[in-house]
Structure 1
Amino acid sequence: MLTSLFTGISGLNANSLALSVVGDNIANANTVGFKSSRANFGDILSQTLGGASAMQVGRGAMIIDIQKMFTQGTLETTANPLDLAIEGDGFFIVRQLNGPTYYTRAGQFRLDKDGYVVDPNGYRLQAYQMNPDGTVTGAIGDIYLAGLMSEPRATNEVKIQVNLDSRQTVPSQPWTSPSGPNLPDPNTYNFSTAITIYDSQGNPHLVYTYFVKTAANQWTAYMVYDSSSDPTNPNYTEAGSFNITFDENGRLTTDPPTSSFNFDFTPWGAAAQNVTFNFTDSTQFGSPNAVVFQTQNGYSSGNLIAVTVDQDGVISGVFTNGQVKKVAQVVLAKFVAAHNLTKVGKNLFLESYGSGNPTYGAPGTVGVGKVFANSLEASNVDLAEEFVRMIAAQRGYQANVRVITTTDNMLNELMNIVR
């Protein structure tokens, strides 16, 4: 009979511990990336009466395991581009400076004062490093965004598509190459356009293209730019010219429709450079002169103004010169037995002997999930399920109390026999 007292106590302990697990789950219902736990019950080794297995009597209950449930949480949209959520398996890797490496599902990242991407604990997010050309190196390290700049690129190609009015006549005055502070006389050309190109240091230079009709279906394009570095004292210089011809249908017949010109940018401290002008698809129709399309492939230097992250975990910087540069790629870790990871609080896990060693991979590879920016993974706690478990634990606790009080009453009756 005394055994039932200890059996009841084991039930009290087991159900109270189960209630603690439920309480922890409910308390973290709003914790980002939190993974709920489940208390698994087991019976205590039984005693045998009379040596027959059929006479085994249990010694009560115990919690044999508190199992972590790594089911997917709902993804919530946020306004922070560095808020990241994993859809699928895997963990973010964060490293404490001069400390251990942790794993987490909580993707609340931001920049610290030194320009590194960190979590709320100040631990640095780990990622594959990238070369300047945007290729992954395979080395894993911190993500550094402070001071990033987009280097300038010198223009080496200009594309201009125009329609030159077939009704135009040869100008009344012959073309004269400009030299000095004055641009060409409007009476010497039929049409002009301008485009900004960039030298090797990212300095902008305005280049004028003047179209002069020389005969039926024949035109000449002249390239003019300011060769002086003093904006108050320009020196307009002709870089060269290019003859353009059309057929009777107004289609371009010049082959190839390109020509290269040399621009001397040494007064600005930059190198001289050749720029190819491409007039592909230009036409000569009986409609007003017009620029249909023009573009060039150079740009100035730029400062970082925004950060983006794609589903492959590639972090890119957006710069003031309109360029987008890949900086790093978030790396994820996967464990064979993730439920055996050691919780250390603050949404962090540590590798354990039971979890096995991690395997690393880019999002969407080697069985790991994808990464979504401007998103956070909510807790996977199901409140309805937790309330049911709470009720079950309460009932179990109450029932075990009744076992103890009933046993006590029976012992009292036994003690009353001697009276």
Structure 2
Amino acid sequence: MLKSLFAGVSGLQSHQVAMDVESNNIANVNTTGYKYSRANFSDLLAQTKSIATAPQGELGGRNAVQVGLGSQVSSMTRIYSQGSVQNTDKNTDVAIQGDGFFIVSPDGGNTYKYTRAGDFKFDSGGNFVDNGGFIVQGWSRDDETGVVDTSAPISNINIPPGLTTPANPTEDLVLKANLNSGPVVESFAPAYEVATTSTGDAVDTNGRVISSGDMGVMYNESGEALSLQDSQGVWASFKAATLPQGAAVAAGAVALDTTFTLDDGSTVNVTSAAGPATNTALNNANAFMAAINAKSAVTGVVASVSTLGELTLRNENSNVTAAHNINFTDNTGTSGIASGSSVTAYQYQYSPTSAVYTENANKTFTTIADLRAALQAQARADGGAANGIEVIVNEQGKLEISNTGTNATDDYDVNFRVTAISTAAITENTRFTSNMLALNTVIPAGSAGKAYSQAFNTATHSASIDVFDSLGSKHTVRMEFRKTSVDSATGSTWDMVVSVPAPAQIDTIAPLDEKTGSVKFNSDGSLATFNPPNISFTGNNGSSPDQQINLRFGTTNAFDGMTSFDSPSATSGISQDGFTGGDIVGIRIDQSGALIGSFSNGRSFALAQIGMAKFTNNEGLATEGGNVYAQTANSGDPIIGTAATAGRGFIQSSALEASNVDLSTALTQLIIIQRGYQANGKTITTSDQLLQTLIGLKN
């Protein structure tokens, strides 16, 4: 009978403990990061009245007869299920989604405590602390390397109030861009920026001669590629070829027999039969003129007759299909014109490999500078070295011819004519011809008149970015690219000019504020090479001199930087790693737990990173109040690392993890515990009544 009393007492005690546990759960229903607990019941040792026996013969076995002695709370289980994450308006609040604990220390890292409550803040000393003043542990940014090393031991997170970041001079300038390789471009510029009128050489504002580049890759004013091929070009003349009047043609029965040698070396024979013996010199001259002019479409030669019967031959270089030179032979000596040769036009032919512009001979050119020099040389040769004919390339990229000289000996009236080179072997380049045809005009000697071609343009592209010196001062670096050549086998080449505004400098030779180089591409549009790989920047403002800035244009034979495809030239990305000094204006926390500082200079970078611990057995941790846990022998050692790695959860900023207590479940559990407690109390009262009955038997 007494056993039932003690069993009831043990039941009351067990349920009282369970009530304490559940009451604590309900009390912490709004505690940040709280994990509820559960009381686990087990029975007490039972009294054995008879032991179990095995079957014997025909008699079956019997079970043991045991009477239990009550119950006990054998253990407590803390349930580490995820609590709901609630957003807050505080940027230093953090919640863990998943497994893991924040690490805090009350003594500078000598001992560690662990918590799921991420209600953190900065104290007056810049320490990152919880509500109990424990300092959050993690990793801080190294001032020298600028890196948060998460492989180092953890320590107190401290961000000094009023933190400033010093200026960081630019070390790398990264450019990603496409330079148009196509036959039509939208971005182009004149062949030259500035041209001098004294020598005709193209120079920039610093006096440096500008490389015009290969004319094979130039464009007209509509952005269409000239695409000059080897030997394409024009016939050009500064004055008409004339075989002047000689003696009058003989009178009487005189025949004409002449031979004209054409440009290609073939000959055309022009004849006129003898007339009657009564013919005058004028009659015969008119007959000869008619015979010569009948072949003008082939020879290019036009004859005229004076009133005295004198013949003049002239070639205006005005017929594309006709010969462009007079090369005349009188086979009978009766034409009245002395035999001889007078050249009216020369070939100006494109050659991608060599330029030859000898006076009084056919010429080749590679660049527009070559073409200008060839025209200038012939203009002077046709008159005299002292004549005032000048050929330049002006700032619009146009060939410009002027004739200002008044020297009676050397100067002459310019009658400039251009026709295309068009043969069975050479196809006319219509775009180049069109550009040159605009020069066709007459410019009298000593006049103010000028002749202009259409503009010769080059494909261009430019990009600019501000870089920073050691003082944090900004300087604009401008990169200009100009297409200069194409090789069908290897790819294209673009000249490059990198410049900075004075008084800064990036070169050791004048002009000091710019540096020239080139960028080459492979035939598939990938980057082949570029030069220079870096610039040596000096601000001349008190900052550190010879600041090395690396130019990062991409990987050789790859497409991760600069490319040259048949698509518009465009900059897809440009960046640099320098910045001026700044004061901290705010801190935010990312999913990895990094504390990102925002500074007044627009820069943001990690100042520290929150450490997280993971345990083999979370239930083995011991609670110490204040929302913190301590390591025990059964929890295992903490595995410390960053959030979202090795099974640790990720961090959500501006949020807190709520208690995982389910109030409806907790209240239901209260009812169950209450009924259990009442039932155990009933066991005691019933046992008491039985004892009363037993005692009453004596009476």
TM-score class, shorter-chain normalisation, is 0.7 to 0.9
Aligned to 1:356: 636
Indicate the larger mover: 378-387 or 38-47: 378-387
Describe the shift of the 1:201–1:137 C-alpha distance in structure 2 as closer, same or farther (beyond 3 A): farther
Q: Secondary structure at the residue paired with 1:33?
A: coil
Aligned to 1:72: 82
Instruction: Give, in whole Å, the separation in 2 of the partners of 1:309 and 1:154.
Output: 27
Instruction: Give, in whole Å, the separation in 1 of the partners of 2:621 and 2:101.
Output: 11
In the alignment, is residue 30 of structure 1 matched against residue 30 of structure 2?
yes
In the alignment, is residue 223 of structure 1 matched against residue 493 of structure 2?
no
Confirm or deny: 8 A CA contact 2:475 2:500 kept in the other structure: no
Confirm or deny: 8 A CA contact 2:598 2:605 kept in the other structure: yes
Q: Quick check: which has more Rg, 1 or 2?
A: 2
Which residue of 118, 138, 145 maps to 2:152?
Answer: 138
Describe the shift of the 1:417–1:81 C-alpha distance in structure 2 as closer, same or farther (beyond 3 A): same
Aligned to 2:513: 239
Q: Secondary structure at the residue paired with 1:407?
A: helix
Describe the shift of the 1:245–1:84 C-alpha distance in structure 2 as closer, same or farther (beyond 3 A): closer
Aligned to 1:114: 125
Which residue of 368, 378, 390 maps to 2:670?
Answer: 390
Report the alpha carbon displacement of residue 412 of structure 1 after superposing the two structures with TM: 3.3
Instruction: Give, in whole Å, the separation in 1 of the partners of 2:614 and 2:463.
Output: 58
Describe the shift of the 1:310–1:150 C-alpha distance in structure 2 as closer, same or farther (beyond 3 A): farther
Instruction: Give, in whole Å, the separation in 2 of the partners of 1:338 and 1:254.
Output: 58
Confirm or deny: 8 A CA contact 1:206 1:226 kept in the other structure: no
Instruction: Give, in whole Å, the separation in 2 of the partners of 1:306 and 1:27.
Output: 36
Which residue of 95, 111, 134 maps to 1:100?
Answer: 111
Report the alpha carbon displacement of residue 171 of structure 1 after superposing the two structures with TM: 4.3
Indicate the larger mover: 341-350 or 65-74: 65-74
Instruction: Give, in whole Å, the separation in 2 of the partners of 1:165 and 1:51.
Output: 107
What percent identity do the matched residue pairs reach? Answer: 32
1:168-187 alignment, distance < 5 Å: 170-171=193-194, 175-177=204-206
Instruction: Give, in whole Å, the separation in 2 of the partners of 1:218 and 1:56.
Output: 100
Confirm or deny: 8 A CA contact 2:164 2:581 kept in the other structure: no
Which residue of 49, 54, 57 maps to 2:64?
Answer: 54
- Normalized per residue, which structure has more strand? 1
Report the alpha carbon displacement of residue 396 of structure 1 after superposing the two structures with TM: 0.7
Return the structure number with greater relative CO, CA threshold 8 A, min gap 6: 1
Confirm or deny: 8 A CA contact 2:470 2:543 kept in the other structure: no
Confirm or deny: 8 A CA contact 1:240 1:261 kept in the other structure: no
Report the alpha carbon displacement of residue 375 of structure 1 after superposing the two structures with TM: 2.9
Instruction: Give, in whole Å, the separation in 2 of the partners of 1:18 and 1:254.
Output: 77
One-letter code of the match for 2:102?
F
Instruction: Give, in whole Å, the separation in 2 of the partners of 1:348 and 1:278.
Output: 50
Instruction: Give, in whole Å, the separation in 2 of the partners of 1:413 and 1:33.
Output: 55
Q: Secondary structure at the residue paired with 1:316?
A: strand
Q: TM-score, normalised by structure 2?
A: 0.48
One-letter code of the match for 2:544?
A
Q: Secondary structure at the residue paired with 1:202?
A: coil
Describe the shift of the 1:189–1:33 C-alpha distance in structure 2 as closer, same or farther (beyond 3 A): farther
One-letter code of the match for 1:95?
S
1:165-314 alignment, distance < 5 Å: 165-166=188-189, 170-171=193-194, 175-177=204-206, 195-206=465-476, 223-227=499-503, 239-240=513-514, 242=516, 256=530, 262-275=536-549, 295-314=575-594
Instruction: Give, in whole Å, the separation in 1 of the partners of 2:176 and 2:688.
Output: 100
Describe the shift of the 1:25–1:243 C-alpha distance in structure 2 as closer, same or farther (beyond 3 A): closer
One-letter code of the match for 1:143?
I
In the alignment, is residue 338 of structure 1 matched against residue 608 of structure 2?
no
Q: TM-score, normalised by structure 1?
A: 0.76
Instruction: Give, in whole Å, the separation in 1 of the partners of 2:51 and 2:519.
Output: 111
Gaps of 5+ in 1: 179-186, 229-236
Confirm or deny: 8 A CA contact 1:164 1:290 kept in the other structure: no
Instruction: Give, in whole Å, the separation in 1 of the partners of 2:463 and 2:614.
Output: 58
Describe the shift of the 1:5–1:189 C-alpha distance in structure 2 as closer, same or farther (beyond 3 A): farther
Confirm or deny: 8 A CA contact 1:316 1:326 kept in the other structure: yes
Instruction: Give, in whole Å, the separation in 1 of the partners of 2:551 and 2:43.
Output: 85
Describe the shift of the 1:148–1:67 C-alpha distance in structure 2 as closer, same or farther (beyond 3 A): farther
1:153-168 alignment, distance < 5 Å: 153-154=169-170, 157=173, 159=175, 164-166=187-189
Report the alpha carbon displacement of residue 358 of structure 1 after superposing the two structures with TM: 2.5
Describe the shift of the 1:63–1:194 C-alpha distance in structure 2 as closer, same or farther (beyond 3 A): closer
RMSD: 4.3
Which residue of 595, 599, 602 maps to 1:319?
Answer: 599
Q: Secondary structure at the residue paired with 1:29?
A: coil
Instruction: Give, in whole Å, the separation in 1 of the partners of 2:121 and 2:653.
Output: 12
Confirm or deny: 8 A CA contact 1:150 1:325 kept in the other structure: no
Deviation per residue, 1:125-156 (Å, 9 max, x gap): 11245542344342111112223626412355
Instruction: Give, in whole Å, the separation in 1 of the partners of 2:137 and 2:546.
Output: 43
Report the alpha carbon displacement of residue 245 of structure 1 after superposing the two structures with TM: 11
Describe the shift of the 1:148–1:122 C-alpha distance in structure 2 as closer, same or farther (beyond 3 A): farther
Confirm or deny: 8 A CA contact 1:313 1:330 kept in the other structure: yes
Report the alpha carbon displacement of residue 47 of structure 1 after superposing the two structures with TM: 2.8
Indicate the larger mover: 354-363 or 190-199: 190-199
Aligned to 2:439: none
Deviation per residue, 1:259-302 (Å, 9 max, x gap): 8655433442432435567896799x9x9x99997654422123
Describe the shift of the 1:413–1:224 C-alpha distance in structure 2 as closer, same or farther (beyond 3 A): closer
In the alignment, is residue 4 of structure 1 matched against residue 4 of structure 2?
yes
Confirm or deny: 8 A CA contact 1:177 1:238 kept in the other structure: no
Confirm or deny: 8 A CA contact 1:8 1:403 kept in the other structure: yes
Confirm or deny: 8 A CA contact 2:518 2:532 kept in the other structure: no
Indicate the larger mover: 390-399 or 146-155: 146-155
Indicate the larger mover: 160-169 or 138-147: 160-169
Matched positions, count: 396
One-letter code of the match for 1:91?
F
Instruction: Give, in whole Å, the separation in 2 of the partners of 1:368 and 1:9.
Output: 45
Instruction: Give, in whole Å, the separation in 1 of the partners of 2:19 and 2:131.
Output: 29
Instruction: Give, in whole Å, the separation in 2 of the partners of 1:39 and 1:211.
Output: 77
Q: Secondary structure at the residue paired with 1:16?
A: helix
In the alignment, is residue 375 of structure 1 matched against residue 655 of structure 2?
yes
One-letter code of the match for 2:126?
G
Confirm or deny: 8 A CA contact 2:170 2:578 kept in the other structure: yes
Indicate the larger mover: 395-404 or 355-364: 355-364
Report the alpha carbon displacement of residue 338 of structure 1 after superposing the two structures with TM: 2.1
Instruction: Give, in whole Å, the separation in 1 of the partners of 2:686 and 2:633.
Output: 45
One-letter code of the match for 1:322?
G
Deviation per residue, 1:54-85 (Å, 9 max, x gap): 34222222111111112222223333333222
Deviation per residue, 1:20-41 (Å, 9 max, x gap): 1111111212211111100111
